[in-house]
Structure 1
Amino acid sequence: MTSFPLASLVTLLVLLLMAVTGVNVGRARERYGIKAPAVTGHAMFERAFRVQMNTLESAALLLPALWIYAGYIGDRGAGVMGIIWLGARVWYAVAYMSDPVKRSGGYGLSFLAFVGLWLGALWGVGRVMLH
């Protein structure tokens, strides 16, 4: 059996990040009196909500690329790029909550990590298909 400990750890940490952003939205709903299903009403709630949604959207792209990369290229590279993505997404979230204008650094780095995983996954799949 092939083992993917780093990709597995990154996946668990991505799930934790998604859970934390969800909890933050719930706390912001309560703090700012935003009743479900509303998603607008106070700037700080809206920031928390956008951080959560952007994280979910980005994770939906990341996770398949992470696992395809791990399977076809290697667990170590997938894990390193996944950790970079995680750190960048935390940077993004903290920056977005303090001042949305400052979110671009975290976003850009997380996007580069995703692109690296996606291109590596594509190369790995293509290499196998051509042989």
Structure 2
Amino acid sequence: MYHYTAIVTCLAVAFYFLTSAQVARARAAFGVKLPAISGHPDFERVFRIQMNTLEWMPIFLPSLWLFAIYISDAIAALLGVLWIVGRILYFTGYREAVAKRSRGFAIQATACIVLWVGALGAVVWRLMHA
């Protein structure tokens, strides 16, 4: 069973829900009416946080699960937590200024790349040694 990976998946979805709620709050605070996705720069940064998180989730989630299945549930979960921490740092930095998003982005991207490369490597290894 993959209990740790399942918990991290739920936490990642909860984080995405949080970013969605922040966009709704920012719309109200800065007067950006639907369907607009631009207006006040503070709103646009919050919107980009949500969209960037959404853009990374289809890369992160399959990589997380394949890593868990082919390598280790516990290690996948630890890397998944690192991805979430990176997303949180990205969120807090980018809300303040565009220039402050880089550290969080680098952390989450690194975690995601390790998950993907590890999963791909494990699948290829098993195919070659089957």
- Say whether 1:20 aligns with 2:23: no
- Say whether 1:31 aligns with 2:29: yes
RMSD across aligned positions (CA): 0.7
* Match of residue 127 from structure 1: 125
- Say whether 1:76 aligns with 2:77: no
- Size of the alignment, in residue pairs? 129
Q: Secondary structure at the match of 1:34?
A: coil
2:108 to 95, 98, 110: 110
Deviation at 1:67, TM superposition (A): 0.2
* Match of residue 7 from structure 1: 5
Q: Which amino acid aligns with 1:34?
A: V
TM-score, normalised via structure 1 length: 0.96
Q: Whole-Å Cα distance in 2 between the matches of residues 29 and 18 of structure 1?
A: 17
Q: Secondary structure at the match of 2:34?
A: coil
Q: Which amino acid aligns with 1:67?
A: W
* Alignment of structure 1 residues 38-53 onto 2, 5 Å: 38-53=36-51
Q: Whole-Å Cα distance in 1 between the matches of residues 8 and 93 of structure 2?
A: 22
Q: Whole-Å Cα distance in 1 between the matches of residues 48 and 77 of structure 2?
A: 26
List, as ranges, runs of 4+ consecutive aligned residues in structure 1 with deviation greater than 4 Å: none
Show structure 1 runs of 5+ residues with no match: none
* Match of residue 85 from structure 2: 87
TM-score, normalised via structure 2 length: 0.97
Show structure 2 runs of 5+ residues with no match: none
